Amino acid sequence: MKTTFDRVSAMTPAQRGALVEQFDKAARITGAEPIAVVGIGCRFPGGVRGPESFWELLTQGRDGVVEVPPQRWDAEEYYDPDPMVPGRMPSKWGGFLDDIAGFDADYFGITPREAEAMDPQQRIALEVAVEALEDAGYRSDALTGVRAAVTLGVYYNEYQSTSASHPESIDAYSATGNAHSITVGRIAYLLGLRGPAVAVDTACSSSLVALHLACQSLRSRESDLGLAGGVSVILRPETQLALGKWGMLSPRGRCNAFDVAADGFVRGEGAGVVVLKRLADAVRDGDRVHAVIRGSAVNSDGRSNGLTAPNAPAQREVITRALAAGDVPASSVNFVETHGTGTSLGDPIEFDALSAVYGRESSCALGAVKTNFGHLEAAAGIAGFIKAVLTVEHGQIPPNLHFTQWNPAIDARSTRIVVPTETMQWPQSDTPRRAGISSFGLGGTNAHIVIEQGPALAAASSVASAMPTVSRLSVTGRSEDRVRDRARALAQWLETGPSVALPDVAATLDRLRTTTDPVGTVCARDTDEALAGLRALAEGSPRPGMLAPRRYRPRSGTVFVFSGQGSQWAGMGRRLLVA
């Protein structure tokens, strides 16, 4: 009996070299497989709930940074402009979500007692994962047994610290409620997913590394669907105190990425999840493709000027490897969503790495979503990734905030790199729209991903039919109250979201419809009628063409279907029914 070791040992050096070459070739082919982004869910500061409102915040140049809400801690009590004052911090600002306490526990079959013991990061990640699946057109209850990977970046654990200060409140649910492994494990459990579930902690690069791992899992056929992203919530002042003592926080509470005024970052919180599939599978299944991931890479700084000091050669290497993985020329990339923290040390180092690869032969704009709502830490990478996806999808480059002139340590004169301060149209090019995304971790783990536009956004047809089509909008929820809530949200989306043909909306709602939950129905010939019907459904007001929520129980019986080819007449099936 010969072992694998025996067979390899018996090879000549030339044979072993040929074997290694074959494995290298197979790895390159596998690593080049394009991955489709088919769904997006996100909650970010500034009232962002979903990709549409995120794009509005970006293109309108809104700033989501505010003073620390009193529900988190007393900002004035902990504030002092002198960072050396014990127990005080030089910043009282941050990017905060509108609501971290609300959670639809009943939707997931979680008891109120267990929900209370769950870290808000677990609750938000769970809800955003379902929202991402819905954006992809998948029912959360239809994925049982699917080999789907769940990889999420999750970093701090401040909720557990809160529990530790009240030991009498600790119960059996506290263990699962605070474990990062359960943040991903609970999603896989409740959705019935059978792929790997991995919590990733590489500090600030966690969520982009998680995205890279999900791509690798899909390419290796370990999984057939991927949920990737990150979550971070700010609950207590201790972390902010430590960062303030370290000199990392901006005393003005803003990220001035690459700017002369760069003096540190401001913290933020949020969550983002994307749904991934192999591109060939997405095309086969008729999925909407927001963007395509062409290449990704992860590496480490290794030895540098300090444990947490960035390393320009390592950053340059990870960018080059990501481009090579997708066989993408750097000159075809016209936008890079940077790490862009707004620190006087990190920005020039990142620029040196970027300018060695990008902006040599073609123009390249630098983005930094941290200027909009701060550094989201474990969710920073996914926030930048979703921004880049929306940018290539819409063909517009949103502005950076808080930029007036280059940091004096940055010399951009020999490059074609720019920082946009107003919304730009994508540069004209013979290549597809392509973008890069960087995220660098405090411990030295770097990630870079290269994406490409998907199909062009299809506009709703403006040609009116001779006979208006009646669309049936079926709105479902776990309870009648949930149906009304979803009707209200759908009405808002129809009014403010992208232009989508009403029959397409109806078809998607039918695809998401469950067979056991209550359903409310609105019949409409156009968007105005749909809006009126949905609002009536949300308010519980009677209206023609609207049916209040009710449960439809499957019943046996006979159904007659007539062709509708013009030969029918009133009562034509009566004799057949009697017979």
Note whether residue 21 is domain-resident: no
480 and 443 part of one domain: no
- Local structure of residue 234 (DSSP, 8 states): -
What average pLDDT does this structure show over 305-323?
93
Q: Any idea which residue has 């690069």 for tokens?
A: 205
Average the pLDDT over 1-5 and give the result. 92
**Residue 579 DSSP class:** -
More confident: 314 or 478: 314
* Strand-strand pairing, 35-44 and 48-49: antiparallel
Residues 230 and 171 in one domain: yes
pLDDT at 510: 83
Say whether both 445 and 487 belong to one domain: no
Q: How many CA atoms lie within 13 A of 392 on its CB side?
A: 31
Helix axes 120-135, 180-191, angle to 10 degrees: 40
Lowest mean pLDDT: which of 29-43, 90-104, 504-518?
504-518
In this predicted structure, what is the pLDDT of residue 315? 97
Q: Note whether 143 and 194 are within 8 A (CB).
A: no
Domain limit, last residue, from 453, 479, 505: 453
**517-552 exposure pattern, b = at least 16 Cβ within 10 A, e = fewer:** bbbbbbbbeebebbbbbbbbbbeeeebebbbbbeee
Average of pLDDT values for 209-224? 98
Q: Are residues 543 and 512 in the same domain?
A: yes
The total number of structural domains that make up the chain: 2
Q: What is the pLDDT of residue 501?
A: 85
Q: How many other CB atoms are found less than 10 A from the CB of residue 197?
A: 21
What pLDDT band is residue 463 in, cutting at 50, 70 and 90?
very low
Residues 199, 162 share a domain: yes
Residue scoring higher pLDDT (214 or 166): 214
Task: Tell me if 335 is assigned to some domain.
Answer: yes
Specify whether the CB–CB gap between 338 and 367 falls below 8 A. yes
Specify burial of residue 101 (Cβ count, 10 A radius: 0-12, 13-18, 19+).
exposed
Answer yes or no: do 215 and 267 share one domain.
yes
pLDDT digit string, tens, across residues 414-450: 999 999 999 999 998 889 999 999 999 999 999 999 9
Token pair of 375, please? 């550094």
Distance CA(343)–CA(410), nearest Å, equals: 12
Q: Is residue 539 pLDDT above 80, yes or no?
A: yes
Q: Lowest mean pLDDT: which of 61-65, 449-453, 513-517, 567-571?
A: 567-571
Instruction: Please state the pTM of the whole predicted model.
Output: 0.90
In a domain, 18, yes or no: no
Query: How does DSSP classify residue 352?
Result: H
Instruction: Classify residue 537: in a domain, yes or no.
Output: yes
- 414 and 541 inside one domain: no
Q: Residue 373: which of 122, 37, 98, 152 has the closest Cα?
A: 98
**What are the pLDDT digits (tens) for 227-253?**
999 999 999 999 999 999 999 999 999
Per-residue model confidence (pLDDT) at position 504: 85
What confidence score (pLDDT) does residue 211 get? 98
How confident is the model at residue 464, as a pLDDT? Answer: 44
Residue 58 pLDDT exceeds 90: yes
Q: What is the pLDDT of residue 572?
A: 67
Domain ends where: 393, 419, 453?
A: 453
b (16+ CB within 10 A) / e for 2-35: eeeeeeeeeeeeeeeeeeeeeeeeeeeeebebbb
Q: What is the mean pLDDT of residues 545-552?
A: 84
Same domain, yes or no: 100 and 127: yes
Which string of DSSP letters, residue by residue, matches 44-101?
A: ETTTEESHHHHHHHHHTT---EEEPPTTT--HHHHB-S-TTSTT-BS--EEE--S-SS
Q: 578 in a domain, yes or no?
A: no
pLDDT band at 309 (very low <50, low <70, confident <90, very high): confident
Q: Element (H or E) spanning 424, and its range? A: strand 424-425
Q: What is the DSSP string of 245-299?
A: HHT-B-TTS---TTBTT---B-BB-EEEEEEEEEHHHHHHHT---SEEEEEEEEE
Per-residue pLDDT reduced to its tens digit, 142-164 = 899 999 999 999 999 999 887 77
Residue 564 scores a pLDDT above 90 = no
Check if the beta carbon of residue 183 is closer than 8 Å to that of residue 199.
yes
Residue 483 domain-assigned? yes
Q: What is the DSSP string of 126-174?
A: HHHHHHHHHHTT--GGG-TT--EEEEEEE---HHHHHHHT-GGG--THH
pLDDT score for 140: 84
The crossing angle, in degrees rounded to 10, of helices 206-219 and 13-31 is 110
- Average model confidence (pLDDT) for the chain? 91
255 & 297 share domain = yes
pLDDT at residue 8, as a whole number = 95
Position 9 in a domain: no
Whether the CB-CB separation of 219 and 272 falls below 8 Å is answered with: no
Predicted confidence (pLDDT) per residue in 480-502, tens digit: 888 888 899 888 888 877 678 88
Q: How far is CA 464 from the centre of its chain?
A: 36
Determine contact, residues 311/444, Cβ cutoff 8 Å. yes
CATH number of residue 475's parent domain: 3.30.70.3290
Cβ proximity of 380 and 211 under 8 Å = no
Print the domain residue range for 263: 37-453
Same domain, 449 and 481: no
How much is the pLDDT for 468?
Answer: 60
**443 and 495 belong to one structural domain:** no
Q: Are residues 320 and 392 in the same domain?
A: yes
Query: CA distances (Å), 142 to each of 276, 312, 513, 515, in order?
Result: 16, 45, 10, 11
Does 125 have pLDDT greater than 90? yes
- CATH code at 101? 3.40.47.10
Higher pLDDT, 530 or 567: 530
User: Which CA distances in Å does 383 have to 81, 373, 390, 482?
Assistant: 30, 10, 11, 28
pLDDT at 124: 97
- Percent helix, strand, coil in the chain, to 5, is 40, 20, 40
Residue 578's pLDDT band (cuts 50, 70, 90): low
Residue 20 belongs to some domain of the structure: no
Structure tokens at 266: 């401001």
**DSSP letter at 329?**
-
CB-count exposure of residue 221 (10 Å: 0-12, 13-18, 19+): exposed
Q: Does 466 score more than 60 pLDDT?
A: no
Residue range 74-87: mean pLDDT, rounded: 93
| Cα–Cα distance measured from residue 207 to residue 483, given in angstroms and rounded to the nearest whole number | 32
Percent of the chain's residues with pLDDT above 70: 93
